[in-house]
Amino acid sequence: MPDDNSHTSSRRQILTGVAAAGLVTAAGASRSRAAEMAAPTPALVDPENAYPRPPFPQQSQPWPGLAGKMTPRPDHGETSYRGSGRLAGRKALITGGDSGIGRAAAIAYAREGADVAIAYLPAEEPDAREVIALIRAAGRKAVALPGDLRNRKYCDTLVQRAHRELGGLDILVSNAGRQRHQDSILDISDEQFDETFRTNIYALFYLSKAAIPLMPRGGAIIATASVNAFSPSEILLDYSATKGAIVAFVKSLAKQMVHRGIRVNAVAPGPFWTALQVSGGQTEENIHNFGAETPMGRAGQPVELAPVYVLLAASEASYITGQVYGAAGGTGVG
């Protein structure tokens, strides 16, 4: 049986060790707080004047258009977006990932730690090559999958290839869109109407149906709708109709997917400065003053939507599904 002195000595050693460990922990916490205090504070951004304001040079491009040929060139976050690991290890497929909102999402996802596959039309290859390089520069896997979303077979193959080449798929961003202005319904051909619906809503249906069986619990589907779903432009009748359909589709699908553990949401942008606008989406007069009608008096830049797409994909948004997030420069639409 141990004597009392031995017992007391053992207790003293244990208590001394606990105290020392506490001091180490406290010192570590102190250093962490000091490091946080020493880190540069992000600068405040004046939302009204942070980005280019109209008038813009009058310009047009053949559809589908290239961001690299726009003046001013859109900001997708190439030099400004900073990640913090919010999507570490995730696997994302983004349609229309070569330019505009899809490009901003692709850059942000990669810098948040995700591997990314982008879908785009072959004519958009110059923009797509830049995005692939940016994803790889972030240290993530990049997969380029050109093709035409109006084709059902391509949509199915696209999802299968993204899943295989990324080693999984847990984020689907159905973003690619077709927009062509017409003054009257009498000017909208059957071919245009069909192309718009196939690109904007049929593709969302095809991609979702192909992706859902492959997605794990915790996955996310994000669609790009538009303020035109709620306040349709008179010159974008067919486009507005598809965006309204996307809102209804997302809200319905979200209810179906709850018990699969997959969240489904949409983003409803207002006027954003993308190649979609200068390749037939708006009149040249509208391009000249694009975004001037908003309370902010300017168009949005794609990088300004990147945090919304990150949020809707991130696990922190676990209670957000069936929602439509608006970003329209103060119009209150969406």
Q: Are 326 and 268 in contact (CB under 8 A)?
A: yes
State phi, psi for 146 to the nearest 5 degrees. -70, 150
Q: Distances from the Cα of 330 to the Cαs of 43, 263, 267, 271, in angstroms?
A: 22, 27, 15, 11
Environment class of residue 106 by beta-carbon count within 10 Å: exposed (0-12), middle (13-18) or buried (19+)? buried
Q: Is 309 noted as a catalytic residue in this protein?
A: no
Q: 324-327 and 220-224 as β-strands: parallel, antiparallel, unpaired?
A: unpaired
H-type alpha helices, the chain: 4-38, 100-111, 125-137, 152-166, 190-197, 203-211, 237-257, 275-276, 284-288, 306-313
Q: In 3D, which of 148, 154, 140, 71 has the Cα closest to residue 112?
A: 140
Length of the chain: 334
Q: In 3D, which of 80, 77, 61 has the Cα closest to residue 69?
A: 61
d(C-alpha 72, C-alpha 326), whole Å:
24
Q: Which of 109, 239, 309, 325 is catalytic?
A: 239
Q: Which two tokens stand for residue 333?
A: 């639409």
Angle at which helix 237-257 crosses helix 203-211, to 10 degrees, equals 20
The DSSP secondary structure of 148-209, one letter per residue, reads -TT-HHHHHHHHHHHHHHHT---EEEE--------SSGGG--HHHHHHHHIIIIIHHHHHHH
State phi, psi for 324 to the nearest 5 degrees. -125, 115
- Active-site positions read 239
